[in-house]
Structures are given as structure tokens and as C-alpha cells.
Amino acid sequence: MTFDAFLAAAWDEHGGAMRTGAVAAICASTIALACAADPPAGARGNFFNNPFIEATHGIAACATPDGPLMTEAEMHAKEHARAERGTRCYMDGQCRLPNAYLYDREIVPRVKEAILADGRFADTSIWVQGQRRWVWLKGCVRKRSDANALVRLVRHMDDVEAVIDELAVTTR
């Protein structure tokens, strides 16, 4: 529920007064937000909520990649360029959605489904990250030919503009 919806529900239609319980809940929420600790300086997070999911897990020794993590300072340094790149796609007539980043939450799960449906990649450990119609394939494969096949598979999917291969070949 959004805060506006919460306020609307809390407002008493008869006489326009706030319910006592609602006032207490709003006060408690406000205090909790005001007292929340700031993240430590230099803490990394997925500030832009770029999708990052595990598609396969067939190589136990493969370390989980970092994903789209950055510091708050890095986020502030990138936010203007990100907004510009996101809308440029639409302004140039290359995107049907008004921002290229809006595709990512739909593309990344489809990439995972395609990898699983293909059947050739059960003995890999793959993570998929999306950002403005670009797809990063991260993790481990047994053979370079598996990485090449994954890139080809993803490159031909609808709405994918680019595929970045960050896959490591491991024999362990």
C-alpha cells in the first residue's frame, strides 16, 4: 500500500477526522524512518534496482558474481547519464517504451527461462543481469563453446540490444 493510499484509508469519511490508531501508526512510521541508520559510507547497493538473478547452479565451485552493486557516490555520479541514455532510445524511435531501463525486469526472467528451456546448460552456473536492454551473462561454464552458445541464444531474444559475456571457463 502506498503512503497516499494509507492516508486515504486512515481518513474518516464522517467528519474528516483521522482515526486514533491511524494517527499512532503514522507517527510510529515517521519516527522509524527518521531514526533509520544511514548506510555506512562506501556501502554498496543495487541503487537502480537492476535485475540480477541466478539462472543455473550446476558448478558448486563457481563464486556468486557481485551483480549491479555500487556506492551511493557512484550512483549519484551515474544518475544523470543513466536518465539520458534511458530516454534516448525512445526519442530516437528505437524503443516502444519511454525508457530503455523499463525493459529489464521483463527481459531478465525471459533470459533465464530460455536458458533453462534450452537444456544444454544444466552443468553451468549462470547469473543474468539486465541494464537498458543489455544483458550480462556472468558465472561459470565448462567449455568456451557453452559460453558462445549462451551468447547466441540471448542475442536473438526480443528487445535485447547487446549481450556482455563475463563467463569464466572452469574444469572444476
Please identify every stretch of the chain with a pLDDT value under 70, giving residue numbers as ranges. Answer: 1-41, 172
- The reply to whether 19 and 71 lie within a common domain is no
pLDDT score for 42: 75
pLDDT score for 171: 79
- The reply to whether 30 and 60 lie within a common domain is no
- The reply to whether 76 and 139 lie within a common domain is yes
Measured CA to CA in angstroms, residue 22 lies from 2, 9, 34 at distances of: 14, 9, 18
Tell me the pLDDT tens digit for each residue of 65-96.
Answer: 999 999 999 999 999 999 998 999 899 998 99
- The reply to whether 31 and 50 lie within a common domain is no
- The reply to whether 99 and 61 lie within a common domain is yes
Tell me how far apart the alpha carbons of residues 156 and 130 are, in angstroms, rounded to a whole number.
15
- The reply to whether 127 and 146 lie within a common domain is yes
Per the prediction, the chain carries an average pLDDT of: 83
Q: Which domain holds residue 158?
A: 44-169
pTM: 0.74
